[in-house]
Amino acid sequence: MLTLLQDLPWNDIRLEYSRKLLGMFLAGHPNHQLVFMRIWQIEPSYLTNAFRDFYDENPLNITRILDVAQDLKVKFFSLSIVHYGILIQIVDP
Amino acid sequence: MLIAILLNSPRDAEPHAVTGFWETWSNPLYQLRLLDALLSLPADTFNFVQLPGRRIVTVDDVSIASPTIKSLAANVQGQTWNSLELFQVLVRLAGSESVEIRTCVREMLDKAIKISAEIVHMGLLQVPVSFILDSQFQLC
C-alpha cells in the first residue's frame, strides 16, 4: 500500500485515515468483505500492495491474506505475483 | 429553509442546488460546518442520498458478489455519507494549510467512521487524483 500511495498526491489526512482503516479491515472488521470487494474492483493493485506490506509485517499474516483472497475468489495465481514469499507459502505451506 | 430548498429543487435541474456544496467556497470552514450539520440530521429529515450525485457504493456495484456482500452493500447504500462529491470536498480541504480546517475534516471523518467505516474507506480511495490536481490548480 505504501508504495502505491507514495506515488499519488495524497495529503497527510487521506493517507493517515486510509492506512488506519485498511488496518482495521485487515484485522477482521465484520464488514471487511464489502470493502475488499470494492477495492478489488476499483484498484486491485492497492489491495495486492496491501497484502504484500501485511505479509512483510509478519509472514504469519498469510493466513488472513488467504482468507480475504478466498472471499474475493482471487486465484492463487494472481496472488503469487504479489510477493515471492507468498508464492512459496502457497506452494509449500 | 436550506433543507427545503435542497429537497424541493427539481431533480432534473442542471445543476442541482446540492452541487453548490461541492464547489470551492471562499469560507471553507463555514462550508464544512454546514455540511457537518446536514450530515448530523436524522435520515428521515435529510439525507444526501435523496439528492442527485455519485454514490461510493450501491448494490448494483456488487451484483455478481456473494449474498453476504450484497447485503452489506444494501445496508450502507442509503447512508447520508454515501456521496463521492462529499468525500471530494473533504479530501480537498484535508490538504488545507489551515489547522482549523484540517481539524474540522478530522472530526467529520471520525464521526463518519463510527457510522460507516466502510463508506469512509471506500470514499477516501475513490476520490480521483485528477480531481485533486484540478482543485489544487484552481486554488493557486
State the Cα angle at B65 between B119 and A57, rounded to 5°: 60
Residue B4 belongs to a domain = no
Residues B112, B120: contact at Cβ < 8 Å?
Answer: yes
Task: State the complex-level ipTM.
Answer: 0.86
**pLDDT tens figures, B75-117:** 999 999 999 999 999 999 999 999 999 999 999 999 999 999 9
Instruction: Count structural domains, chain B.
Output: 1
CB contact under 8 A, A25 and B121: yes
**Residue B5 is assigned to a structural domain of this protein:** no
pTM of the model: 0.84
Q: A58 — alpha (psi -120 to 50), left (phi > 0) or beta?
A: beta
Task: Choose among A13, A24, A42: nearest Cβ to B102.
Answer: A13
Q: What is the pLDDT of residues B20-72, one digit of tens each?
A: 899 999 999 999 999 999 999 998 899 999 999 999 999 999 998 889 999 99
Is B120 close to A24, i.e. CB distance below 8 A? no
- Picking from A12, A18, A37, the nearest residue to B124 by CB comes out as A18
Collect all residues of chain B within an 8 Å Cβ-Cβ radius of residue A40.
none
- Domain for residue B13, yes or no? no
Residue A83 lies in domain: 2-91
Domain that holds residue B58: 20-139
Number of domains in chain A: 1
Evaluate whether residue B135 is within a structural domain: yes
